[in-house]
Structure 1
């Protein structure tokens, strides 16, 4: 959390000062104390005249990489002005926050912000990148903000590169290699890569190194040169073209008491992960060693640890040896841009394209193939696809045909989105597909989605858990063609009289109603929710005794969620959050 100092110059700004102190846990200080506290705070907020602010800070300003953020608010609260360290110090962001808080006008004079350009000097902190360029950062920024032709070379994919691709300025061109960076055409190249690359002569270079790799290492017992090993590993990997890009170090747990491991954590503040010999021995590696197995019980330490530390990623640097150490480097497949096939199972949400997750939307925009459940997922969800992507409904395909199509694209190194309704884990029919992916060693991941039962609660404007009345939500279905386990029969589940959300059961509503009435009172509230959040959404409320009639009279289909329980439309009962026992959660004076 930022440490913020408030300097109230005039009495007129007392209300603003009080609001900021409360919101940011900021401390009020005297103007005469600014100098001695200059390095103690992340930000100084002056409330009063700009001239007084400037004259106060002028003697202490050194460098944008060292100076704290400085903001000035006029005493009437009309303007919030970013004065110093707009990007690196965070004054611009804090200016926006405070402006929104007090309803003022933000005043930001940074050229890149006002021109809608990237704030290059914030990327290292923002995206956990280091900088490997020899060229002066300010010279690169000057060229960029003056819209000199710029090349962008990205060798990995992460949050930062996703942002760059989505917000690409007109004067920036994405290139695939440095061979495309013609000095006659480009003034600057921005590189995002863990590899040691060098821009052509005459082109400014800004090289960001993403911290995305796992470094696995083995270690001799109590080496005398342990203090030098840290640099030795960096130098060895750099000599083969890989820059220090490690977000974690990994090794076997028997090395936990080594001085080198303590140094990594205590002096360098590195993330250190230990694995057991049993965990490491399960990993297939290119360079197993009988000697290592004899001493520690696993044929590999550094390579296996790197692979495990990278979420079973790709081994980029196989085992290399130093005097008293071995090292290997691996990168999670999700960061790689090379032609590696991948399947993302995405939860589409209940239907409204705006209710797919931000991550799900990004996956759809990136996909080479979108295979969506056409009978359940609106096609509108796929309209964000990139040019050239294949978009196919699976409604007329059997499981074998779906898997064959995905494998065909996977083998070409394509990025595939399998789009399922709601959240894939709830009646999502993904288990058989995952079994196919596992059998064929195909990499996949699941992006969760908003389930239709959550959409039902929102559209019904109901809290499905009512204190002291109902604290459980049951998600289930009636017994149709798919048999239900004996212990999960509806009438047994109904004994708790919880809020029950029943999927895929409109066609057997008579059976559903009959079973529920064995336990719920006949006047229990119900709702039949058809095509939740779709343009043709319909919701019918009533009592349990009339549930079958509601469904049949309105010709509702399988795409109907049945909700049962007294939580529907209930406004009785006090949530614990607002009870007298939870007043410590509120700010002073709000309880």
Structure 2
């Protein structure tokens, strides 16, 4: 995690040093700046430029000064709840710590409470679900590393919870649910569903439940093989076709796996780089140790030393089970497996 702090006075600069120390203990890499003519080490860079540069790359920005300074500074750079960093304001005496942006998804509320505890500051939390002690779906998604596919639906669910309604959350069978479930949330498995859920937690999409808010864990591994020199476009199309045919969300994919003979295959490497996916390879001997029932090819066995690459590599890399068997398309073979996973209610 990365953060940047800026202050505007001598007292603010001294407080920012304490904030930096607390964040560093939590594992943050912190940059600290001051913009004050009375201080020799004041930065020359305009505040708007400093803010824009750091807004794009940091996980958290902290302004030690008036809240209005921070509001005006960040306004031109706001994008969305899913992209914006956490932004907090502290007064120069350290009496108050105010999250003003990305309180839930960016973690600003939680960080304000953390800083308040260690710096003896009052965290000023203004989000409605926190004030009313209601379960927050966006916080749940962030803490469980779930991709939230529709922010408008999340907002609607929060409004219903604040109005006192109960919501139905369905989880796929691979998911283990832990923790204390809030009284306003009813839980069931996908197999138990009779009506459309409000929230569906899983790696699949279901055409009959289009109105649900999907929370997607990145727990799917694509096992892939291809002819030497296969273009990245064909690899991408094969992956998309496999996912579409099996109703698997693209957001669920975390990695691609193959045999070590493909470790330098440019098409696979480029696809993983462009999609932000890990690439894992295994020897033929390791692939043979994968547990499960797999399709078998004598030709593949003679060529690479193991009867199946895509299914075996997907299962081996995920540590889970096969959810999409081998499909061949334009010289590319693909399969998908999912790891066991869990969500925790806090």
Map of 1:275-314 to 2, 5 A cutoff?
275-283=282-290, 285-311=293-319, 313-314=320-321
Shift of 1:267: 2.4
Question: Which residue in 1 is equivalent to 2:203?
Answer: 194
Corresponding residue of 1:4: 4
For the structure 1 residues 63 and 35, does the alpha-carbon distance in structure 2 shift closer, same or farther, using more than 3 Å as the test? farther
Aligned equivalents of 1:134 and 1:72: distance in 2?
A: 25
After superposition, the C-alpha distances for 1:12-61 in whole angstroms (9 at most, x for unaligned) are 43431231244443311438833212343233322233344434444544
1:250 aligns with 2:267: no
Q: Which of 53, 61, 71 matches 1:40?
A: 53
| Partner SS state of residue 38, structure 1 | helix
Residues 88/322 of structure 1: CA separation in 2 closer, same or farther (3 Å cut): same
Report the Cα distance in structure 1 between the residues aligned to 2:191 and 2:323, rounded to whole angstroms: 20
Deviation string, structure 1 residues 232-256 (Cα, Å, up to 9, x no partner): 3123222222223232211111111
Q: CA deviation at 1:288?
A: 0.8
Match of 2:165 among 131, 148, 156: 148
Indicate how the Cα distance of structure 1 residues 157 and 16 shifts in structure 2: closer, same or farther if over 3 A, else same: farther
| TM-score (normalizing by structure 1) | 0.50
Distance 2:79 2:123 in 1: 25
Aligned-residue CA RMSD (Å): 3.1
Change (3 A) 1:40 1:299: same
State the alpha-carbon separation in 2 of the partners of residues 132 and 56 from structure 1: 29
Relative to structure 1, the CA distance from residue 122 to residue 238 in structure 2 (aligned partners, 3 Å threshold; closer, same or farther) is farther
Whole-angstrom CA distance in 2 between matches of 1:29 and 1:67: 23
2:234 equivalent in structure 1: 228
TM-superposed deviation, 1:291: 0.9
1:414-464 residue CA offsets vs partner (Å, 9 max, x unmatched): xxxxxxxxxxxxxxxxxxxxxxxxxxxxxxxxxxxxxxxxxxxxxxxxxxx
Residues 317/134 of structure 1: CA separation in 2 closer, same or farther (3 Å cut): farther
Distance 1:199 1:150, change over 3 A: farther
Worse overlay, 51-60 or 65-74:
51-60
**Matching of residues 552-591 of structure 1 within 5 Å:** none
Native 8 Å contact 1:156 1:192 kept in 2: no
Measure the CA separation in 2 of the matches of 1:59 and 1:152. 37
Residues 218 and 327 in structure 1, CA contact (< 8 A), matched pair in contact too: yes
CA distance in 1, matches of 2:295, 2:342: 23
Unaligned ranges ≥5, structure 1:
338-358, 363-591
Is residue 14 of structure 2 the alignment partner of residue 15 of structure 1? yes
Q: Deviations over 1:198-245 (max 9, x none)?
A: 4657xx42101211122211212212x332322431232222222232
Cα deviation for residue 269 of structure 1 reads 2.7
Task: Please give the residue correspondences for 1:474-485 in structure 2 after superposition, counting only pairs within 5 Å.
Answer: none
- Separation in structure 2 between the aligned mates of residue 179 and residue 282 of structure 1, nearest angstrom: 35
CA distance in 1, matches of 2:150, 2:90: 37
Measured in 2, the distance between the counterparts of 1:309 and 1:87 equals 32
Aligned residues of 2:282 and 2:313 also touching (Cα < 8 A): yes
C-alpha spacing 1:295/1:174, structure 2 compared with 1 (3 Å)? same
Question: Which residue of 2 is the match for residue 63 of structure 1?
Answer: 80
Separation in 2, partners of 1:30, 1:302: 56
Superposition TM-score, scaled by structure 2 size:
0.81
Alignment of 1:241 onto 2:247: yes
Provide the secondary structure at the position in 2 that maps to 1:267. helix
Q: Indicate yes or no: 2:36 matched with 1:27.
A: no
**Contact 1:16/1:77 (8 A) holds in 2:** yes
Answer yes or no: is the 8 Å Cα contact 2:232–2:268 preserved in 1: no
Q: Which residue of 2 aligns with 1:206?
A: 213
Q: Supply the distance in 2 between the matched residues of 1:166 and 1:95 (Cα, whole angstroms).
A: 24
Residue of structure 2 equivalent to 1:489: none
Instruction: Answer whether contact 2:314 2:336 (CA < 8 A) is retained.
Output: yes
| Residues in 2 aligned to 1:336 and 1:4: alpha-carbon distance in whole angstroms | 33
Change (3 A) 1:302 1:7: same
| Equivalent residues of 1:265, 1:272 under 8 A apart | yes
Report the Cα offset of residue 125 of structure 1. Answer: 4.4
**1:260 matched residue in structure 2:** 267
- For 1:58 and 1:133, how far apart are their aligned partners in 2? 23
CA distance in 2, matches of 1:200, 1:281: 39
The 5 Å alignment of 1:430-509 reads none
Q: 1:101: how far off?
A: 2.1
Q: Would you say 1:85 and 2:102 are equivalent positions?
A: yes
Higher relative contact order (CA 8 A, sep 6+): 2
2:76 aligned with 1:76, yes or no?
A: no
Please give the alpha-carbon distance, in whole angstroms, between the structure 2 residues aligned to 1:169 and 1:30. 45
* Alpha-carbon contact 1:70-1:84 (below 8 Å) kept: yes
Tell whether the 8 Å contact from 1:189 to 1:206 is kept in structure 2 after alignment. Answer: yes
Question: Aligned equivalents of 1:68 and 1:146: distance in 2?
Answer: 29
SS at match of 2:2: coil
Is the 2:5–2:64 Cα contact (8 Å) retained in structure 1? Answer: no
Q: Secondary structure at the match of 2:50?
A: coil
**Structure with the higher strand share, 1 or 2:** 2
Give the match for residue 113 of structure 1: 130
* C-alpha spacing 1:135/1:11, structure 2 compared with 1 (3 Å): closer
Instruction: Sort the Cα spacing of 1:229 and 1:7 in 2 relative to 1 into closer, same or farther, 3 A.
Output: same
